[in-house]
Structure 1
Amino acid sequence: MGLFTSLEKTDKVRYKKVKEEGCVVTFSVEIPAAQVQDETHNYLLRLQQRAKIPGFRPGKAPLDLVKKEFTERAREDVLDGLIRKYVPEGMRELNLHPVAVPTVEDASYNEGKPARFQVLVEVPPQVIPKDYTKVAVRRKLYPASEEALAARLEELREANARLEKAAEEAIGKEHYAVIDYTGAKTKGEAELVDMSCEQVVNGLAEGLLGMARGETKDITVEINGKGSVLKVTVKEIKRKILPALDGEFAKDLGFNTVEELKAKLKNVMEDEGKAKSERELQQQIEQSLINSNHIPLPPSLVEAQLEHALERFRRQLLGEQGRWSDKQSDDLRVKLKPKAEDELRLSYLLPAIAQLEKIKASDEDLELELEKNLSAVEEAGKKEEVRKMFEERREAIADVIRDRKTMAFIRGKTIITEAA
């Protein structure tokens, strides 16, 4: 067809919602043929000024030849320009507020016809909170019983144990062996082996059992799934000695008597029990809110929340430089996804409740939060950094305070019963 192809007439750009599934809205866009032709002509004119076609100086090639030489490029670039122009207009027209970059599908146009494509937009959920007052939960108590206290004291003794030379001449399961070893690709000196624990090197503990001080022998082991032989020499045999639960032990830990140590430990255990009970109550309240409010979620934000959870978990377990294997990452994604979704649901639910209940972070709330942060640092320079950071993130901090106050409001109306 030529430059002056007859046009299929339509009135204006048409936007129409096609489908709405959860937080994903699909709408269609139809751009009149006349506008498409105008965009195409303008593009070709701009292209004509810089097109390099054999036999013609730049800007002098006939327009129909430019069109013939660059037909496919013109189609792609014009369509891309139409998408960039009319997708934002369509979202404004349909009052859609995207939370992620929209996706365009089925984009096409033929000369003389309107351009058509569909847009997938992820939008925030419409949240109408319910059942957030009189949430029923059960409080489980964790008293510091005599049995629990005795177990904690035993842990303290274990933590302060020491190793001494064993009277026995042969290694038993209750011993610690100090060994030198040499293998085809590995060696070590004065390595301590706890005979009561499972070993990373399969077969090592079994081979050491019964060996005497100074004895050397070859032990068949498995390292990283591969068989190997280690030449092992027993340098020493040791036994773990637990300190007696007496006044000397108490003084070593900074207390005057065993009773004073027990009293302090019991107070610590009671505080830990209360904190654990509070955490469980909070979890019950949050889970009740989530279960009562079925909130759809934007897929992209779920993915972002999941990535954040994975990164946080990786740093806790592996440190800054640690990396998951692909399988570990896949397994963890499955495990962490429900929690990531729940966190995201709460992030939508709490502000919605706050709006209904007219809960806000006041200037006084913000000032108190700033003072609390300032009191945690001593250097004047650091305090100034805190002030600057606070001002830069004032709105986000206000949101955190608002959510905290909202949860306190919900907690104040929660019905708590004591578990038997």
Structure 2
Amino acid sequence: MKMEMTELGPMKRALKIEVPAEEVAQRFVQAYKELNRQVRVPGFRPGKAPLALLEQRYAKSVEEDVLRNIVPDFYGRAVRQAGISPVLVDIPPLERVKIKKDSPFTFTATVEIKPKIELRDYKAPNPISLKPDKRSVGDDQIQKGLEVLREQHARLEAAPDGHTIQEGDFVILSIEGRLDGQPLEGSKKEGHLHKVGSKAPLLGLDVDAHLVGKHSGDQVEITQPYPTSHPDNRVAGKSVIFSVFLTGVRIKKLPDLDDEFAKDCGSYASLTELTDRLRSEMEKALKREIEDSYKDTILKRLVETHHFDLPETLVERELEAIIRQYMQQRQRRAASGDDGGATEDLEQLRQQNREEAGRRVKVGLLLEAIAEKEQLTVSQDDVNHEVHRLATELKMPQNELVKMIQSGGQDAIEELRARILADKSLDFVYRNAVIQG
């Protein structure tokens, strides 16, 4: 095979590939042998039809079959010979390519390639230097954690007689709306528990301001005007009078911080044991936070100290992924009524996110290069561990997550393995970094 590589730009190469005549001839021989075994020609036993007859009847289909096999085969050989890593391949359509069985076959493939990265300053003798993060879990944070647990285990108890309602109290109320002195259908609610100060609307009403200072057994009337543009024609341009009956008041009772409280929180024999467990969990969480912060710094340093051109195809793919994720989030917000009616121009979004897309591609290429240089690999145990971690994080059965990944085909599996490999590369740099002090 002959191969000539021409540089078309920083990230593009043209590969002119010539397949020897003897190789072409051999491919045609193999193709006709296979065809002879498969087709039935009247007057001849299977596999015994003359080659000339087969060529007369099936020449075009055999040529197409040879092309479908010989082009990717020799393209792959050419890439290995050239020592390049393609990102995008542009091979001419087969219908535009001509091949003759006794002549050399020449075709040209245009490829966009990954850059060659000269790695530097990520391990000894020049490791990345990090400033020490000396944060620790203090007693005040432990106390706040205990207070959160107290809130989670609080009980609602009946307020004493004469209690004046204030923010934080819970009231049991019933409400009914009247329009022109008559009950309004759909405006009645009974036995509703409402936290005063939560600003949670009740039948579209802000009731908090009308409850503070009241007592159990009181009745409050709220007049609610509606604009003429209101979608409910019954109330459009009119006012509805809502009668709110306060049938009960509950106050939050926090449990005492004692051994009994600890037992209510789980399998803890004492408050000391619960506190020690809380401290341990908070220290683990802080350790993960500090490690993530270190790794963010490492990625920033890698990006700053390595300079190379980025394949435009990879940047475009990443940019499309960012836009797609943004649009999915926006659709979810719109479905929940939380998007505020926002609209964005797609081209503007692309411009705003192009730099981030480029940064992500650069990080990915750097971590891939480190993995290759350090001969890091992904084992099946690595995959199993990551699937277990994701299932735990997403709170879903592991077998369901496996089915979800498999439904995405080979691309989804390769994407998972690539992400695991990137994490292993980043861990490698982190373990080789030096924390000052």
* TM bin (shorter chain): 0.5 to 0.7
Task: Provide the secondary structure at the position in 1 that maps to 2:430.
Answer: helix
Q: How does 1:188-207 map to 2 (within 5 A)?
A: 188-200=189-201, 203-207=206-210
Q: Equivalent of 1:212, from 210, 215, 236?
A: 215
Cα distance change of structure 1 residues 250 and 236 upon mapping to structure 2, 3 Å threshold: same
Cα distance change of structure 1 residues 302 and 276 upon mapping to structure 2, 3 Å threshold: same
Q: Equivalent of 1:406, from 425, 432, 437?
A: 425
* Count of residues in correspondence between the two structures: 307
**CA drift at 1:155:** 0.7
Q: What residue number does 2:62 align with? A: none
Output the aligned Cα RMSD. Answer: 4.9
Q: What residue number does 1:327 align with? A: 342
**CA drift at 1:239:** 0.9
In 1, the alpha carbon distance for the partners of 2:269 and 2:436 equals 40
Q: What residue number does 2:282 align with? A: 269
Deviations 1:186-243 (A, max 9, x none): 4433222222334456742111222332322222469999897533221211111100
In 1, the alpha carbon distance for the partners of 2:206 and 2:416 equals 56
Quick check: 1:177 aligned with 2:192? Answer: no
Cα distance change of structure 1 residues 231 and 309 upon mapping to structure 2, 3 Å threshold: same
Task: Provide the secondary structure at the position in 2 that maps to 1:327.
Answer: coil
Task: Provide the secondary structure at the position in 2 that maps to 1:275.
Answer: helix
Q: What residue number does 2:151 align with? A: 158
Q: What residue number does 1:303 align with? A: 319
Cα distance change of structure 1 residues 337 and 239 upon mapping to structure 2, 3 Å threshold: farther
Q: 2:85–2:113: 8 Å Cα contact kept in structure 1? A: no
Cα distance change of structure 1 residues 177 and 346 upon mapping to structure 2, 3 Å threshold: same
Q: How does 1:221-236 map to 2 (within 5 A)?
A: 229=240, 230-236=242-248
Task: Provide the secondary structure at the position in 2 that maps to 1:212.
Answer: coil
Q: 1:202–1:223: 8 Å Cα contact kept in structure 2? A: no
**CA drift at 1:323:** 8.3
Quick check: 1:293 aligned with 2:306? Answer: yes
Q: Equivalent of 1:132, from 122, 125, 145?
A: 122
AA at the equivalent of 1:305: A
Q: How does 1:375-390 map to 2 (within 5 A)?
A: none
Q: What residue number does 1:144 align with? A: 137
Q: What residue number does 1:353 align with? A: 370
Q: What residue number does 1:240 align with? A: 252
Q: 1:309–1:340: 8 Å Cα contact kept in structure 2? A: no
In 2, the alpha carbon distance for the partners of 1:278 and 1:16 equals 43
Cα distance change of structure 1 residues 371 and 246 upon mapping to structure 2, 3 Å threshold: closer
TM-score by length of 1: 0.57
**CA drift at 1:181:** 2.1
Cα distance change of structure 1 residues 153 and 339 upon mapping to structure 2, 3 Å threshold: farther
**CA drift at 1:152:** 0.7
**CA drift at 1:339:** 5.3
Cα distance change of structure 1 residues 403 and 303 upon mapping to structure 2, 3 Å threshold: closer
Q: 1:175–1:239: 8 Å Cα contact kept in structure 2? A: yes
What is the aligned-residue identity percentage?
20
In 2, the alpha carbon distance for the partners of 1:408 and 1:303 equals 26
In 2, the alpha carbon distance for the partners of 1:247 and 1:222 equals 54
Cα distance change of structure 1 residues 259 and 324 upon mapping to structure 2, 3 Å threshold: closer
TM-score by length of 2: 0.56
In 1, the alpha carbon distance for the partners of 2:243 and 2:111 equals 63
**CA drift at 1:345:** 2.5
Cα distance change of structure 1 residues 389 and 149 upon mapping to structure 2, 3 Å threshold: same
In 2, the alpha carbon distance for the partners of 1:263 and 1:244 equals 18
AA at the equivalent of 2:371: A
